[in-house]
Amino acid sequence: MKYLGLVFANLRRSKLRSAMTGAAIMLAVLLVCLLLTMPAGLDALLDNLASNTRISVHNKAGIVYSMPQSFVRKVRQVDGVAAAAAITWFGGAYEEAGRVTFPNFAVEVEHVGAVYPDYPISAEHLADFKRYRDGALVGRQIMRKYRWKIGDRVTLRSTVWPVNLDVRIVGEIADDHSPYLWMSTEYVDQALKAQGREGLGIANVVWARASDPSRVNAIMRAVDELSRNSEAETACETEKSFFSNMFGSLQSFVTIILIVTALVSLCIVFIAANTASMAVRERAGEIAVLKAIGFGRRVIFATLLAETLLLSALAGGAGVLLAVALTRALRMFSGWSEALGPLAVFIITGPVIVQGIVLSLCVGMLAGVVPAYGAARKSVAETLHEIF
Amino acid sequence: MQMRVAEPIIAIHHVSRRYVRGVDEVHALEDVSLSIPQGHFAGFMGPSGSGKSTLLNLVSGIDRPTSGEVIVAGQRLNDLSEDELAHWRARHVGLIFQFFNLIPVLSSRDNVALPLLLTHLSKAERLRRAEVALGIVDLGHRLHHLPRTLSGGEQQRVAIARAIVTDPDLIVADEPTGDLDARNAEAILSLLRQLKQDFGKTVVMVTHDPRALRYVDDAYHLDKGLLLEGEDAERARAALLVAAGHGAAPTGAAAGVRAQP
Amino acid sequence: MPLPLSYSLRNLQARPGRSVMTACIIALVVVACALLLGLISSLKQTFVRSGNPMNLVVMRKGSDNDGASQLAVQAFQAIRFFDGIARDAADQPLVSPELVVQPFFRTRGGGRENVLVRGVEPVALAVHEQVRITQGRMFTPSAHEAVVGRAVLGRYAGAELGNELEFGRGRWKVVGILEAGGASFESEVWVDVRELANDAKRPYPYSGIRLRVATPADFEPLQRRIGDDPRYALEALRETDYYAKQAKSANALYVLVVGIAVLAGIGAGFGASNTMYAAVQARTAEIGTLRALGFSRGAILSAFEIEAVALSLVGFLLGAVAALALSRLLEWWLGSLAFGASTFTTNVITLHLSSADLAGACGLALTIGIGGGLGPAWRAARLRPIEALRKA
């Protein structure tokens, strides 16, 4: 601790160099944090929004292969099912976006609350959702992306059904990562019938909640049994498995992101190591004098390493803070135009912050250890010889 | 009846130092033996390459001999490991160099207090002792100056203050006047002599500066790794004086020859 | 009078360790940038190659991809005989009715993805000119057979020639492999349209129509006629435009590229700058000598900038080689990459770094070098000879 003054003084030695190295580390850590939001976001979705009691019931052939809406009644009667709600892909494009930019579904309003009791939806919002046929519940990620407020009216042009629907936002799914919009099945059904068509008779997924995790397997078997040999044979899976599979196709992308993150991290290590080795080389004489006076190898090693570590920790910490601030700002700007839309997906969560800090410390260690060790190891006489 | 002479503070027995540089083996020192009494101001003199700096390094525990033994203040340095030597130096030796003495980013006071970081003294105590040491070298008014704002002579005085702040038995100076002009050089030499006289410190100095002959108690002349004695030493000393330009007689005792100013 | 090139280059050689380390800093940014650019261009390539400039895509109004659309048989019957449509040798109109469904497929790695299955009639091969059956043969209608795209064969389990591939509600015998020069059709499975409609229990047998126009002049009248028809709410889009729209989803990735170029690029620039500043510091006396000898400030500035540029070029070369190696490694390790351009479809692509991608990365490297070297070069140029020599 008493050496801290010396370490700080050494960092102040070449202010320009310390500043530039610090800035480089800060910017790179910022970038890494932004990059990591994607895998972290997927993990968060898996952790926050997937429960161990929910089961997805869908056509074995694929989600696009639907099931009759009426099937949900059979599911409700299965032993152990506490609640079940049929969900149909609406595929609505928000006018301003021009194409489908978030998942939106028609859901059974009377039952969906019971299937998702863990979702942060206030009782009041849920009640309004049931009360107003044209109501919609929207996940916070989308609310922020388009800067919608409760009470706003939003037009969605379905890309799969021949209807355009005007919905009123009556409530929010208060999770930062929730990207959903739910509207009422009745409302869609009505709109279709008004055109002289058959109503919304199909569901893409029936979500069921088991009364207890231990009943999940039995329920899945029972439901699949119910649908066997029918025209829509089902394959049940847990919600976690469902999300995993869905994210599976994003895996390539995540891998590339992680590779790029690794490259950038390595880059920071090199930048910091470059600075550290230059500093050590330039100060060889001074270090020799310190050793001569009686500072042992361990102290020399520690103070040199501390220098790199301190710079790295401070700069990296600043980078993480900047990432948090920047993503907040980006969320504001992303609402301005479609092209900037993607900017809203950067949400810095706890794990990302921790990863950023750990990265900064590791960078400091890796970058500083070799120059510090090399300088400490050299014998005094050897160094003095080279200098004098 | 004469009192038994005190143990010499430095005793060097048949010390050689050889090392490999590229493909050659350099014989920096060859079979050197000497002893320096406590409280003496000794000078190691000679041309460049004579081995005087190597000898100094051995005496101060910065280097180890290839053969022979070095005993300083009762401690046989050969017995100590690298880290133990560092620890020993911190407590027993004060060092002054020709270049790179001071840490450029620390004030004079912090530079002087540097060796005290190796002790368990409180921060307040460390700074107090540093101020005292700076007072002794007459730089009490330059506590907070950075080295680059001090003259060459002042920087060396700060280095001397740092050398004495731990109250070591031995003060070792490697070419302390090498980089200074005449006036400052004389001031430094005088200060070193003062340390011996007023504080009883043993001072060992490497120099090729003939002026030093006027300040040291004993002058050891080296050439090509060998310690010169007798006539060879005389010749070396005379040569130095001639080189100084005035061949003036020294005021201090040197190699047993006294002369009038 | 400028300083010779060898001055700059020799100085880089003089401190090899530092030069290599700085080059590596730049190289790493180059690799990251090249990789992402390659990803985007590989993705876009599949779409660019998919659009036939003489084809029209007819879908229900408001659908953004043919998987979401539905189209009545009557509509197809009517459109078939519109003017302006090309005809084949037997004077049959080149109009291909198609049904797009996305069932689950198992990947070789055990994952589950939506694959685009296109129900077609044999005329589809004529309308989609670039699609060719390279192994086996086209499926026989009503025989529950399938031809699979080359990329499907590579990524999904059980798609080999002669196998019974399980998807949808049945098993389909793989009788042929189709290739399309890298177009998105290679990520598709083609089957008999009626059988697919039956399998997927679609009330409408078709989701859309692809047709060939006779001459370019026929585009507009045909588009208008189809779009204005009051009986059916349809729209007709040029196939190239259709796929261009799909390609837009890759644009979101450009945000990442920009982020890397700016943030990592500036960081690397600072790293290079540090090295160059240290070099200027160490060579202060030398610069003073050069100035005293008569070399102008401009000459000194250029010499140092050239050094920085040379460093960045070395960095680019290292990075380019590493990026190419890395893309090969990824191909070997991951196989193909899957991207969902639109909801419910997976586009299988192989990561390929084009020369344009490398050129982009090179541009970044040069910018880093020039930008990073500017400060130090400026400082070197501004050194006054007397001061510089005094510092020695």
* DSSP-assigned letters across all residues of C177-237: EEE-TT-GGGGEEEEEHHHHHHHHT-SSSBSEEEEEBSSGGGHHHHHHHHHH-SSS-EEEE
Together in a domain, A20 and A73: no
Its domain, for residue B48, covers: 37-66+80-244
A177 lies in some domain: yes
Here the tokens at position A56 are 């997805």
Residues in B touching A10 (Cβ below 8 Å) = 105
Interface partners of A (3+ CB pairs, < 8 Å)? Answer: B, C
A241 lies in some domain: no
d(CA B43, CA B46) in angstroms, rounded, equals 10
d(CA C240, CA C235) in angstroms, rounded, equals 15
Together in a domain, A214 and A281: no
Average pLDDT over residues A188-211: 90
pLDDT band at C249 (very low <50, low <70, confident <90, very high): confident
Average pLDDT over residues A268-297: 89
pLDDT tens, C117-161?
999 999 999 999 999 999 999 999 999 999 999 999 988 999 999
**CA neighbor of B41 nearest in space, from B246, B242, B206, B165:** B206
Residue from the list B63, B95, B123 with its beta carbon closest to the beta carbon of A293 = B95
Here the tokens at position A148 are 């919608």
B182 lies in some domain: yes
How many residues are given for chain C?
392
Q: So what's the pLDDT on residue C93? A: 92
Q: Are the beta carbons of B149 and B158 closer than 8 angstroms?
A: no
Whether residues A296 and B83 touch (CB distance < 8 A) is answered with yes
pLDDT at B255 over 60: no
Whose tokens are 């588009």? That residue is: C223
A53 lies in some domain: no
d(CA C131, CA A330) in angstroms, rounded, equals 43
Q: So what's the pLDDT on residue B181? A: 85
User: What is the count of structural domains for chain B?
Assistant: 1
d(CA A55, CA A279) in angstroms, rounded, equals 60
Q: So what's the pLDDT on residue C342? A: 61
Which residues in C102-137 are b (16+ Cβ under 10 Å) and which e?
bbbbebeeebbbbbbbbbbeebbbbbbeebebeebe
Q: Are the beta carbons of A266 and A274 closer than 8 angstroms?
A: no
Q: Are the beta carbons of B180 and B172 closer than 8 angstroms?
A: no
pLDDT at B63 over 90: no
pLDDT band at C174 (very low <50, low <70, confident <90, very high): very high
H-helix or E-strand containing B41? strand B41-45
Q: So what's the pLDDT on residue B254? A: 45
pLDDT at A199 over 90: no
Say how far residue C376 (Cα) sits from the centre of its chain: 38
Residues in A touching B116 (Cβ below 8 Å) = none
Together in a domain, A11 and A80: no
Angle made by CA atoms C267, C279, C300, in degrees to the nearest 5: 105
For residue A61, what is the nearest residue in chain C, using CA coordinates? C168
Q: Are the beta carbons of A319 and C264 closer than 8 angstroms?
A: no
Q: What percent of chain B has pLDDT over 70?
A: 90
Where would I find the beta strands (DSSP E) of chain A?
54-59, 67-68, 81-89, 92-94, 104-107, 135-139, 153-158, 164-173, 181-184, 202-203, 205-210, 234-238
Q: So what's the pLDDT on residue B257? A: 43
A200 lies in some domain: yes
d(CA A70, CA A75) in angstroms, rounded, equals 9
pLDDT band at A13 (very low <50, low <70, confident <90, very high): confident
Together in a domain, A111 and A184: yes
pLDDT band at B7 (very low <50, low <70, confident <90, very high): confident
- The one-character DSSP state at B17 is E
Q: So what's the pLDDT on residue B250? A: 47
| CATH number assigned to the domain comprising residue B90 | 3.40.50.300
Residue from A202, A258, A274 to probe the interface with C (highest C Cβ count within 10 Å) = A274
**Strand partners of residue B12:** B34, B70
- Chain C nearest C-alpha distance from A250 (Å): 7
Last residue of a domain, one of A176, A199, A232: A232
B110 lies in some domain: yes
| Neighbour-count burial of C96, counting CB atoms closer than 10 A to its CB (0-12 exposed, 13-18 middle, 19+ buried) | buried
A201 lies in some domain: yes
Whether residues C264 and A28 touch (CB distance < 8 A) is answered with yes
Residues in A touching B53 (Cβ below 8 Å) = 388
A290 lies in some domain: yes
User: Domain segments of chain C: what residues?
Assistant: 5-48+249-391, 62-232
pLDDT at A354 over 80: yes
Average pLDDT over residues B112-130: 90
Average pLDDT over residues C45-55: 89
d(CA A107, CA A286) in angstroms, rounded, equals 73
Here the tokens at position B259 are 């002369």
A237 lies in some domain: no
Q: So what's the pLDDT on residue B260? A: 37
- Chain B nearest C-alpha distance from A297 (Å): 7
pLDDT at B253 over 50: no
Whose tokens are 């890759």? That residue is: C250
Q: Are the beta carbons of C71 and C100 closer than 8 angstroms?
A: no
Whether residues B95 and A379 touch (CB distance < 8 A) is answered with no
- Chain A nearest C-alpha distance from C185 (Å): 18
Q: Are the beta carbons of C210 and C57 closer than 8 angstroms?
A: yes
Average pLDDT over residues A113-119: 92
Positive or negative: CA dihedral B247, B253, B256, B259:
positive
pLDDT tens, C185-221?
999 999 999 999 999 888 788 999 999 999 999 999 9
Whether residues A293 and B115 touch (CB distance < 8 A) is answered with yes
pLDDT at B215 over 80: yes
d(CA B132, CA B153) in angstroms, rounded, equals 19
User: What is the count of structural domains for chain A?
Assistant: 2
d(CA A315, CA A25) in angstroms, rounded, equals 6
Together in a domain, A223 and A255: no
d(CA A161, CA A88) in angstroms, rounded, equals 11
pLDDT tens, C307-364?
999 999 999 999 999 999 999 998 888 778 887 756 677 888 888 899 999 999 999 9
Higher pLDDT, B132 or C250: B132
Q: So what's the pLDDT on residue C251? A: 78
pLDDT at A377 over 70: yes
* DSSP-assigned letters across all residues of B48-79: TTSSHHHHHHHHTTSS--SEEEEEETTEEGGG
Residue type, B255: A
Its domain, for residue A379, covers: 4-46+250-387
Together in a domain, A195 and A278: no
Q: So what's the pLDDT on residue B256? A: 44
Here the tokens at position C368 are 């880093």
Residues 6 or more apart in contact with residue B141 via CB below 8 angstroms: none
Together in a domain, A355 and A282: yes
B44 lies in some domain: yes
H-helix or E-strand containing C84? none
Residue from the list A13, A286, A295 with its beta carbon closest to the beta carbon of B86 = A295
Cβ neighbour number for residue B3 with a 10 Å cutoff:
5
| Neighbour-count burial of B207, counting CB atoms closer than 10 A to its CB (0-12 exposed, 13-18 middle, 19+ buried) | buried
Together in a domain, A355 and A279: yes
pLDDT band at B149 (very low <50, low <70, confident <90, very high): very high
**CA neighbor of B176 nearest in space, from B191, B165, B188:** B188
Together in a domain, A260 and A300: yes
Q: Are the beta carbons of C184 and C349 closer than 8 angstroms?
A: no
Q: Rounded to whole angstroms, what are the CA distances from C373 to A264, B178, C106?
A: 21, 39, 52
H-helix or E-strand containing C8? helix C5-14
d(CA A225, CA A217) in angstroms, rounded, equals 12
Whether residues C168 and A62 touch (CB distance < 8 A) is answered with yes
Give alpha helix (H) positions in A147-283: 185-194, 216-227, 239-248, 251-282
Whether residues B63 and A298 touch (CB distance < 8 A) is answered with no
Calculate the average pLDDT of chain A. Answer: 87
Here the tokens at position A171 are 């409530």
Residues in B touching A13 (Cβ below 8 Å) = 104-105
pLDDT at A26 over 80: yes
Residue type, B12: I
Here the tokens at position C202 are 């679609």
Chains C and A touch, using 3 or more CB pairs below 8 Å: yes
Q: So what's the pLDDT on residue A386? A: 63
Calculate the average pLDDT of chain C. Answer: 89
